[in-house]
Chain A
Amino acid sequence: MTLLALSFTLVFVFITMFVSYWKKLDLERSIAISCIRAAVQLLAIGYVLHYVFETDHIGFIVAIIGVMIAVASWNAAKRGKGMSGVFWRIALTIASMEAFMMLFLLGLGLIEPTPQYIIPLSGMTIGNAMVVAGLFTTSVRRELASSRGEIETLLALGASTGQALQGALKRAVKFSLIPTIDSLKTVGLVQLPGMMTGMIIAGADPVEAVRYQILILFSHAASAAMTSMLLSMLYPKLLMTRDLRVRQLPED
């Protein structure tokens, strides 16, 4: 794609901004900044990947994955206002997911141990875990507010932290997995996933593209479930004081 052809895609941005202006949504500035950021970030990573693929050095791969985990954790941790230590818990969870996925995929020989496979798949795994961690954190905060009566009732009956939070955490895990499960149900019928579409556009055999997409979908479903379950084990201390009282979290 030439740069001139690429520049024509700005038409879509202008349409979005026009709709915002016309309907007085006051989103023009946010849309412009987000689009510029997306373009700059993608172009930058394009050049970085080009260099990393050429040099094929493990240090670069580790550094890129490290940055991805840090940015993803920082972004998801923004949902945990007032929850001191939420960043490290999310970072530990996402890093564990990434390590597990890569060990599994590389160990079973499902992907080749080259930057071309490791970096994009890591990006997808980390991005997916970030979305689930953000949803889980938001949901936990809502549950803590809406189920306060239930939690305090259990505490008043002598429940432990785990027993008092069990119902609320279970509901938060369930909520955070809804997009993953819905996406598994409708994939191929409603949406053709990005990776598969990209491979087909780039000339790959559609059946081969589908195989990779299935691999991604299943690994994402597993990482989503493990992300929210791991967080549900790491969060109770953020939600309850040492003397078993519900913490008062600031409103979003």
Chain B
Amino acid sequence: MEIEGLGKRIATDEAGGLRTLFHGLSAVIREPASIAVMGASGQGKSTLLRMLACLETIDEGDVRLNGQSFRQSDIREWRMDVSYVAQQAVMLPGTVDFNLRTVSRLHGATYEERLASELMERCGLGGMPGAKQATELSGGEKQRLALVRSLLLRPQVLLLDEVTASLDEENSRYVEELLLERHRSEGTTLIWVTHQPEQAHRVAPVHWTLAGGRITESGVAR
């Protein structure tokens, strides 16, 4: 994935005032990679992830995946390859099973039941009844289910927006291990937004620090 001269302006008031969040943001990701994105609140970490998933307008610049610009790509296919997992997991109205089958339903594909069970197990949700209403799950359970739902897409790049923020230490480690295992076995590139330097050191050898609309890249020995 290549990020080239990315620019984003955001509204500051209802009168149409704009503030430049990024300007000329560039980076090259050599896949498979695991990158931690850090920076103070309001620097645009979540916005950057949403832009990479084409959920936010890209005002200037380009993002390319496998040499192809997002502008020349089918947006649906792009989002299947570059999957975004939000900080606040949203469950679709229905059961746990219905949520797990979302990806296969949306794309008319066969439901990978075995993979789903394996991922649920690895996330600590092994005993979860499929008939349970997903909206009744705890915040942490919802977050892990949302992650499994996205992993079933088998994305090339997974954008993780503080996905462990609502989890306790133990479950947070489960999720980290699961994602790193997918990174090693499937070659999934992971881009983690995190506020925890310890977590950044655990999960990613490359760190991006967002400040003043610029990325500063640093490598950390694991």
Contacts and interface: CB of A to CB of B under 8 A. Distances in A.
A167 interface: yes
Nearest to B56: A245
Nearest to A148: B90
Contacts, number: 59
A154 B88 contact: no
A6 interface: no
Given A152-B55, A243-B54, A157 B153 contact: yes
A157 B77 CA distance: 9
Nearest to A243: B75
Given A149-B88, A163-B106, A244-B75, A157 B55 contact: no
A156 interface: yes
B208 interface: no
B93 interface: yes
A159 B106 contact: yes
Interface in A62-111: none
Contacts of A160: 76, 106
B102 interface: yes
A163 B80 CA distance: 15
Nearest to B90: A149
A150 interface: yes
Nearest to B70: A243
B57 A245 contact: yes
A55 B80 CA distance: 65
Interface in B47-65: 53-57
A200 interface: no
A243 B74 CA distance: 9
A154 B75 contact: no
A150 B54 CA distance: 16
Interface in A174-209: none
Given A160-B76, A244-B76, A155 B55 contact: yes
B86 A158 contact: no
Contacts of B8: none
Nearest to A242: B75
Interface residues of A, number: 16
Given A157-B102, A158-B153, A160-B76, A245 B55 contact: yes
Contacts of B86: 149, 152-153, 156
Nearest to A164: B106
A22 B3 CA distance: 66
Contacts of A245: 54-57
Nearest to A246: B55
Contact of A157 (B54, B75, B83, B88): B83
A245 B53 CA distance: 11
Contacts of A153: 86, 90, 92, 146
A153 B143 CA distance: 12
A159 B90 contact: no
A181 B83 CA distance: 42
B86 to A, nearest CB: 7
Given A152-B86, A243-B54, A158 B92 contact: no
Interface string B148-178: 0110010000000000000000000000000
Nearest to A241: B57
29 contacts: A149-B90, A150-B92, A150-B93, A152-B55, A152-B86, A152-B90, A153-B86, A153-B90, A154-B102, A154-B106, A155-B79, A156-B79, A156-B85, A157-B80, A157-B102, A157-B103, A157-B106, A157-B149, A157-B153, A158-B79, A158-B106, A159-B106, A160-B76, A160-B106, A163-B106, A167-B92, A245-B54, A245-B56, A245-B57
Closest 4 CB pairs of A and B: A149-B90, A158-B80, A153-B90, A156-B84
Interface of A: 149-150, 152-160, 163, 167, 243-245
Given A156-B84, A158-B79, A159-B76, 10 more contacts: A152-B55, A153-B86, A153-B92, A153-B146, A154-B92, A156-B85, A157-B83, A158-B153, A167-B93, A243-B54
